[in-house]
Structures are given as structure tokens and as C-alpha cells.
Amino acid sequence: MSASGFDGGQILRDARAIAFPRYPGTDGCRRAQAIIAGWFRSAGLAVSEESFRYDIRPAVRAIRIVAATGGALLAAAGVVATRSPGWALALTAAALAVAGTVVVWSPGAERLYRGEGPTETVNVMGRRKPEAPRMTLIVMAHYDSKSQNLTFPWRNGAVVLALLATVAMLVLLAADLVAARALGGRLAVPGLGLLAAACLFTLSTLTSGNESPGGVDNAGSVAIVTALARTLPAVVPGDVDLVFLSPSAEEDHMVGAMRWLDRHVAELADRPVRALNFDGAGAPGRLVLLTSYGVFHRFAPEIARTTMAAAKGLGLNPRQIWLPPAVGIDAIPFHHRGVPCLTFSSGALGAATMSVHSRHDVADHLDPLTLAACAGLARQVAIDLCRR
């Protein structure tokens, strides 16, 4: 037992129990669903297994078209930049506008995921619901996994590099128009355009499969939620509606979280709701809070302040980071439905992180001390948020 009060070894053993490929709709996904439902029942919770169907293909096609179109526009901007910076600026702005149709989350973007389809999977929920709840606390971690032809860090690197190159193009082209001469050299903008285009063309080839055991993403986090399900009912006031949620299909653009919100957000409208999400938690290294994403979006500032205060009291120092556009976590649809949701993670750039979305994402990459520290911090945050 660590100083956090949690047995990191037990959390790791639970993570190992579901660290096998479990892409939505597969036998592995159904096997993990049954295990998690059993854990929630053994914790004394009322368990619901909510089935839903979806079709990810329209969204995948849209993203590929947008990435390829944006890449073509940026390549064209680079080609014409030396002769006509005004046209190059317009093409670059058009590329950003095209990309924004899918990488900036919105209710409009959610329409891509509304249709029923061939993939059937289940959100697993364990609940302690009082007769007259004063507030609801949701503790959640998705249980599905996926492999991709580009692992998570390389995919995110391409996204960030394309974004930085495009912004640099806009700045240089605007400066060129004002100064009436090419700043940064004649090859700067063409080079940036080709770099951004190469990144976007690469991203347009992304495919998903069922080869990843999903140790870091996201078996460790599910095991943390399970540990909290076993302990929070005893320390959180009885008038708090406790929801322990393990959505599926996070790896298919957060469809499971959207479906759960479609079904439940109306019933939560009459009371305060707070959500603690776990994604990538347990990777060795410093604890991480995902406190902002995209452009001008901040996740749950109140929960973030409470978490940093709790961390200080526990002698922890989580790093607060920004999530770039085109990177998805379940906190995003919660945020857009008005439910404050803060995501807990951990780790640094190393073997554990580099393996995400590949067959090498095994439970051996998880660190029991980090798992226990994350669970301990979350328990204290839950207690602080739920005080009368």
C-alpha cells in the first residue's frame, strides 16, 4: 500500500486483466465489457450496460477529404508564394477554414456520428444514486483500444507540425504584404507549405485496427476508476449521485461519450454535475492534467483549481497541458454539453507514450506508484468537490 492509500500493485493487476486488443465491436471489446461490469457489481453498484450502434465511415471519409484538400491548398500556397503572396495568403486561410470543419469540435461536427451503423458496442456504468441527489459526480475512463498505422505520438506530432507550419505561413505572408518584400527568405513559405502539406497528406492515410492491447490507453485508467468505485462510496456523502462510467468507442471519435450524454444529460440538468476523466493515466512520470484544448477552450477551471490545491496538500505537482486540435478525448463532448470535465493522465515522452495505438502498448509500461498516486489524487478531489 502506497502513501496514497491505494494498492498500486492491485490496480496494475486489474489493468493487466483487460490489457488485450478491444477495438469497438470485437470479441475483445465484449470480453472487457463483461469484466468491467463484474468489477462494478462487486463494488456494490447498480450496473447498466447500454448498447448502441454507429457508423464511423462517414467521419473517416470526411477527415480524409479535409486533410487531403487542406494539404493541396497549402502546397499550392507554397508554390505561388514567391509570385503572389496575396493569393498564397488566401489559399492558406482557405486551408485553415477547411480544416476547421472537422478538427474544431462543434454540434455540427457531431452530426457525422449520429447514424446507426454496423458497429455495436456498450457503455458500462456503475451507479450509486440516492433518492434526492444534491449533485452528481462522474468518474470515467474509456475501455476500448485501437491500433493505427501511425502511433499516437507520431500522429499528434504531424498535427502540431502542420498547425505550426500553417500559422508561420500566415504570419510570413501577411508580413510580406505589409513590407512588400519576402521576409524570411524566398524559400521559407514554400518550404513551410510543403511541410504542412506532407503532414496533412500523411494524416489522410490514417487507418485503425485491433492490434493494440491498450495498456496505457486505457487499461490503467479503467483500473483506477475501478479502484475509486471500490472506495469512493464510503467517503463521499450519501446525497451525491456517484456514476462510474466506462464508455466504449472513445477511439472512434468519442462516439460512446456522445451516446451516453444523449441518453443521460437531461436527467442531470436539475443539479450540479462534475466529471473526472482518466486517459493515459499510469504511464511512468509526472501526473498530468489536460486543462485546455484547441483554440480558447478550457476544461473545467473550477475542478482544475480544486485538483491543484489537493495535489499541493498531497505533495504532488501535476503538469497542466494543452491538447492540440484534432486530438480527441471524452472530456470534449462533455465540455460542449456543459458538463465540467477534467482529464487526469501521466507520463512523459518515453517508451510508454510512444507505444500508444500500437501492438506495443502493453500493461508492462504502467507504473504501480503512478497508478496509486493518480487514484489518491482523484479520491481527494472527489471528496473536496462533494463537500456540503
Residues 363 and 222 in one domain: yes
Domain tally, the chain:
2
Looking at residue 351, its pLDDT comes to: 84
> Phi and psi of 174, rounded to 5°?
-65, -40
What is the C-alpha to C-alpha distance for residues 207 and 161, in angstroms, rounded to an integer?
20
Residues 185 and 244 in one domain: no
- Whether the CB-CB separation of 239 and 315 falls below 8 Å is answered with no
Looking at residue 324, its pLDDT comes to: 78
Asked if residue 2 belongs to a domain, the reply is no
Residue among 260, 302, 253, 244 at smallest CA distance from 144 = 253
Residues 369 and 223 in one domain: yes
Per residue in 373-383, pLDDT (tens digit) is 999 999 999 99
Looking at residue 2, its pLDDT comes to: 63
Asked if residue 133 belongs to a domain, the reply is yes
Residues 95 and 135 in one domain: no
Q: How is residue 318 annotated by DSSP?
A: P
Asked if residue 115 belongs to a domain, the reply is no
Asked if residue 346 belongs to a domain, the reply is yes
Residues 292 and 221 in one domain: yes
Residues 242 and 296 in one domain: yes
Residues 159 and 171 in one domain: yes
Residues 142 and 155 in one domain: no
Domain range for 309 is 8-53+121-147+209-385
The residue type found at 219 is A
Residues 172 and 218 in one domain: no
Residues 272 and 286 in one domain: yes
Structural domain ending residue among the three candidates 164, 188, 203: 203
Asked if residue 340 belongs to a domain, the reply is yes
- Whether the CB-CB separation of 220 and 371 falls below 8 Å is answered with yes
CA distances to 13, 212, 262 from 284, rounded to whole Å, are 16, 19, 35
What is the C-alpha to C-alpha distance for residues 305 and 303, in angstroms, rounded to an integer?
5
Burial of 46 (0-12, 13-18, 19+ CB in 10 A): exposed
What is the C-alpha to C-alpha distance for residues 184 and 177, in angstroms, rounded to an integer?
13
CA distances to 121, 123, 230, 244 from 126, rounded to whole Å, are 17, 10, 11, 5
Look up the pTM and report it.
0.92
Asked if residue 116 belongs to a domain, the reply is no
pLDDT in single tens digits along all 388 residues of the chain: 666 689 999 999 999 999 999 999 999 999 999 999 999 999 999 999 999 999 999 989 988 998 999 999 999 999 998 888 899 999 999 998 887 665 666 666 778 888 899 999 999 999 999 999 999 999 999 999 999 998 777 888 888 899 899 989 999 998 888 776 656 667 889 999 999 999 999 999 999 999 999 999 999 999 999 999 999 999 999 999 999 999 999 999 999 999 999 999 899 999 999 999 999 999 999 999 999 987 778 899 999 999 999 999 999 999 999 887 777 899 999 998 999 999 999 998 788 888 999 999 999 999 999 999 999 999 999 999 999 6
Question: Which CATH number is 280's domain given?
Answer: 3.40.630.10
Looking at residue 152, its pLDDT comes to: 76
Residues 187 and 288 in one domain: no
Asked if residue 114 belongs to a domain, the reply is no
Looking at residue 107, its pLDDT comes to: 65
Per residue in 166-209, pLDDT (tens digit) is 989 999 998 888 776 656 667 889 999 999 999 999 999 999 99
What is the C-alpha to C-alpha distance for residues 14 and 17, in angstroms, rounded to an integer?
5
Residues 36 and 166 in one domain: no
What is the C-alpha to C-alpha distance for residues 211 and 272, in angstroms, rounded to an integer?
40
Structural domain ending residue among the three candidates 160, 182, 203: 203
Asked if residue 199 belongs to a domain, the reply is yes
